[in-house]
Amino acid sequence: MRSICFYFQVHQPYRLRNYRFFDIAEKHDYFDDYNNSFIMRKVAKKSYLPMNNILLDLIKEYGSAFKVSFSISGSAIDQFEEYAPEVLESFKKLADTGNVEFMAETYSHSLAALISKEEFQRQVEMHTHKIQQHFGKKPTTFRNTELIYSDRIGEMVADMGYKLMLSEGAKHVLGWRSPNYMYASAVRPELKLLLKNFLLSDDIAFRFSQQSWEGWPLTAEKFVDWLNKSNESEETINLFMDYETFGEHQWAETGIFDFMKSLPKRVFSHSDFGFATPSELAKKLQAVSPISVPNEISWADEERDLTAWLGNDLQDEAFEKLYNLYEKVKECDDPQIWKDWLYLQTSDHFYYMCTKWFSDGDVHKYFNPYGTPYDAFVNYMNVLSDFIIRVNENTKFGKEGYEGVKQSASDLYDKTSEAVKDTVKRANKKVKDAAVKSKEIKFEDIKDMSNAAVKKLLKEIDVEEMTAALKGAEKEVMEKIIPNLNKNAKKKYEELQSELKKINKKEINKYRKRVEDKIAEIFGK
Amino acid sequence: MRILMFGWEFPPHITGGLGTACFGLTKGLSKHGVEMMFVVPKAYGDEDQRAVRILNASDISFDLEDSEYKEFWANIKYMEVGSNIIPYVDPVEFSKVFEDNKKTGEKYTSNVFSKRYEFSGAYGVNLMEEVARYALIGSGIAAKEKHDIIHAHDWLTYPAGIAAKKASGKPLVVHMHATEFDRTGGDVNQVVYDMEREGMEAADRVITVSNLTRKVVIEKYGIDPGKVVTVHNAVDQAVSKEIIEIKRKMKEKVVTFLGRITYQKGPEYFIEAAYKILQKDNNVRFVMAGSGDMLNKMIERVAHLKIADKFHFTGFLKGDDVTNMFALSDVFVMPSVSEPFGIVPLEAMRSNVPVVISKQSGVAEVLKHAFKVDFWDVDAMADSIYGLCHYDGLSNMFKEYGKIEVENLKWENSAKEVKKVYESVL
């Protein structure tokens, strides 16, 4: 039996309020509580609640034959908790039937996979935790924000242990191949890939109410005919779309709810198709072929690439400045910073800055709070500037504030005074050593003495003794002493020279010692 | 002496320097005992079909309640003429606004970051038609109301001035606050240029706001130098008591550009100077306050240079926001490519903010304590900004002496000069 695999994306961003330059460093509330609550309540009433009831009724009617899957972003769940708890309850009822699979994604519907493996994994873990907490089961299928996929992202997802991931059946990747089979990552074959059949998906999501479309009006009969036209060997028709399609993008008046109510009956009566969840397909189907995706694909716009979120100067600047903060955010311990960090990463903020609007304007305008991408950019950057200030203040040095600076200064003072004491100690020792050394006066030191000092010395010493001490002395010592001898002494010195021939070294040293002692006596203190 | 005066806008509905100048000048003139009838175009909305509406002080919400203000109202009669004339919009832009208005059927308002034009579908299809309508009503007022002299501010009101002169035969003084060359940078709209020239030729005296503008008027419009008189603008002193000390949490120095984001104001040179400084010094924030046809291009440039976390846009500011902006600023920069006068630097100096102004501005003729650089010389601009951010001695000197300088630039003095011009034609 061939399968129809429904996957619905449920997401609401935390939209920013009009945050002005004057608010920077002054106010730290970034989100438009009024508007977010208003939109959430409106979409809940028009879409989430009625559609959940329809699905619940269908499951009651057909039992395990009817199945769907969801990915609900963390920021949507947070807003359910805050503004529309009854929606969460109704999703729980769906979970309790066992026919509904909930998938894993990044908590804040972010683009983290494109820039940081670590942050990407952290957000996925946060999200799976949240899903398990509310719906009781840990997700086993992964789908990335906006179905963004590449070989590199597949590798990260496989590293986290997932065996199946959803993506877009982009023409430029598949070429002649059909999206209606199970594929696998070219770099990590253990990761299977389910690809969106964008023709049939978009017939429901985008063209359903388009009166100019040749398929209009779309009925369950017509849709099942189209399903039957697909090749019989094909395994699965993957119908992936925003959940807001039902009741919000396509209003109730278009008959979208009636279409969904009647579709399963027609499928069961007029085709060999059944319904399956992604994880069931992962167990059942073998990959027919690996696909290689070197550049990121997504389900957005005609291009099926990243240009809805990144690529123009506004988007790149905002994205870069946001993720430049990552290393610092990691150091922060303020839970509010972590919360804001999550919500500021939501891809919608970058989507609002998109300047290629004119072809996909309608989708981009959906609940877009800004008049122009420039407004979106300016507002986001104002918020981000304040966030940067907060992050910087919360990291180690900033966080400790005045007290921290005072402590550092005091530590520095202590360290310095220790160092000063040490230096003084060492200096004193040096001086002392020098003083001790200076007491051990050598005979040769005479050459460094002033003439006055030499004269003073010569007055205190017999010329005979000095003559003996000078025997064989250095030339510089001689030159210092002989000119300083008075006339008589010089004469005596000359006379004594012949007598000195016999004198031995020992005696010379004895006389020298006397001279040294004399110098110490006169000058050494 | 009683003056019939034609203007564009009047407080509190001010979108630019002309409204500020007119308000200051009329206040100054009232101090010299000159009586005035001030006529402005104003879109009433569909509910009010009267051609002219005379307003009393009580009709205008205004926060100044000092004696000077009361005295002023004793000497002025303020009239609004039902009209779609939008200040600072050229004929092409006007028709675009008109078309948008027709298409959506909504009152035209631009997005949240832009100033809001009031626009009512009740009036003419194009700007020239509106100007003609305003002139017609102007001549009606001139025939009915007693006056000695007619005084018209900038080209949109010149036809009204000429028509009034024909109706009453009184002398006409036209006031050149800006020329078409300043507004367009040489890509002159011939219709506007002709209207300016005709106004000046029909006038008995032409007042220019600077010698720079006087030169343009003589050289590019061929007006007889003998009847062109420079009267420099001044700055309102009354507000100085409003200077507020804001306790600022932002640690960085703040450098501000405040003005319309158009070719004339040279916003791109400010961005290039900011970029140069931010390469060396991360401790500065730049703010571009205002709105205009180059805003989006400037936002893209800042994003492209990757300085958007330190370079902010506020959109159009008025009233208290302007005061707050000055209170937050350490340096004010006016890099105008061509600025006939430029009152904003004086307002900045009055709020204790040192200024860097372009040599291509009229205000450079009257200021000493300001850095003056060529608008294109972003290196010199960056040097001046850096100096004022980092050398307290310099910025303190600029603040102290700059304030004294500004205090001597009183509207009362300018008004005295204008009164002399009136007397010369009586």
- Asked if the ipTM is above 0.85, the reply is no
Of A25, A378, A385, the CB nearest to B309: A385
Contact B309 A377 (CB under 8 A): no
Query: How confident is the model over A145-160, as a mean pLDDT?
Result: 96
Phi, psi of B294 (to 5 degrees): -100, 5
- Note whether B298 and B270 are within 8 A (CB): no
Helix and strand numbers, DSSP H then E, in chain B: 15, 14
pLDDT value for B196: 94
Cβ neighbours, 10 Å, residue A277: 22
Q: Which residue of A has its CA nearest to B291?
A: A375
Least Cα separation, residue B49 to chain A (angstroms): 33
Alpha-carbon distance A273 to A66, whole Å?
11
Query: How confident is the model over A342-360, as a mean pLDDT?
Result: 85
Contact B324 A318 (CB under 8 A): no
Q: Which residue of A has its CA nearest to B109?
A: A371
Q: Helix axis angle, B17-31 relative to B67-75, nearest 10°? A: 90
Residue A314, chain B, CB below 8 Å: the answer is yes
- Note whether B358 and B334 are within 8 A (CB): yes
Residue A167 CA to its chain's centroid (Å)? 24
Contact A313 B112 (CB under 8 A): no
Q: Helix axis angle, A220-229 relative to A256-270, nearest 10°? A: 50
Contact B328 A314 (CB under 8 A): no
Contact B250 A313 (CB under 8 A): no
Of A20, A313, A372, the CB nearest to B111: A372
- Note whether A186 and A165 are within 8 A (CB): no
Q: Has residue B239 got a pLDDT over 60?
A: no
Report which of A471, A478, A515, A477 is spatially closest to residue A497, judged by C-alpha positions. A471
Report which of A185, A71, A215 is spatially closest to residue A131, judged by C-alpha positions. A71
Contact B300 A374 (CB under 8 A): yes
Q: Which domains are delineated in chain B?
A: 2-234+410-425 (3.40.50.2000), 238-407 (3.40.50.2000)
Alpha-carbon distance A509 to A283, whole Å?
106
Alpha-carbon distance values, B254 to A165, B31, B330, B372 (Å): 49, 37, 5, 19
Report which of B232, B295, B284 is spatially closest to residue B261, judged by C-alpha positions. B295
- The domains of chain A are located at 2-313+360-372, 402-438, 443-523
Of B113, B303, B309, the CB nearest to A314: B303
End-to-end CA distance of chain A, in Å? 113
Q: Has residue B119 got a pLDDT over 60?
A: no
DSSP string, A82-143: HH-HHHHHHHHHHHHTS-EEE-B--TT-B-GGGT-HHHHHHHHHHHHHHHHHHHSS---EEE
Of A314, A370, A381, the CB nearest to B300: A314
Q: Has residue B61 got a pLDDT over 50?
A: no
Question: Given this chain, do its domains A2-313+360-372 and A443-523 carry the same CATH topology?
Answer: no
CATH architecture of A2-313+360-372: Alpha-Beta Barrel (3.20)
Contact A318 B303 (CB under 8 A): yes
Residue A378, chain B, CB below 8 Å: the answer is yes
Residue B89 neighbours by CB under 8 Å, 6+ apart: B97, B117, B127
Q: What pLDDT digit, counting tens, does each position of B126-146 carry?
A: 677 778 878 888 888 888 888
Q: What pLDDT digit, counting tens, does each position of B275-310 carry?
A: 999 999 989 999 999 998 899 999 999 999 999 999
pLDDT value for B64: 45
**CATH number, domain A443-523, options 3.30.565.10, 1.10.220.30, 3.50.30.10, 3.90.950.20:** 1.10.220.30
Tokens representing residue B118 in the block: 């009031």
Q: How confident is the model at residue A523 (pLDDT cuts 50, 70, 90)?
A: confident
A244 carries an active-site annotation:
no
Report which of A64, A65, A12, A42 is spatially closest to residue A243, judged by C-alpha positions. A12
- Note whether B181 and B338 are within 8 A (CB): yes
Residue B295, chain A, CB below 8 Å: the answer is yes
Q: Which residue of B has its CA nearest to A375?
A: B113
Tokens representing residue A107 in the block: 């908590």
Residue A175, chain B, CB below 8 Å: the answer is no
Residue A27 neighbours by CB under 8 Å, 6+ apart: A19, A386
Provide the β-strand partners of residue B255: B286, B331
Q: What pLDDT digit, counting tens, does each position of A58-109 carry?
A: 999 999 999 999 999 999 999 999 999 999 999 999 999 999 999 999 999 9
Alpha-carbon distance A315 to B308, whole Å?
11
Contact B249 A20 (CB under 8 A): no
Residue B304, chain A, CB below 8 Å: the answer is yes
pLDDT value for A285: 96
Number of inter-chain CB pairs under 8 A, A vs B? 71
pLDDT value for B95: 64
Angle (nearest 5°) at CA B266 between B342 and A374: 115
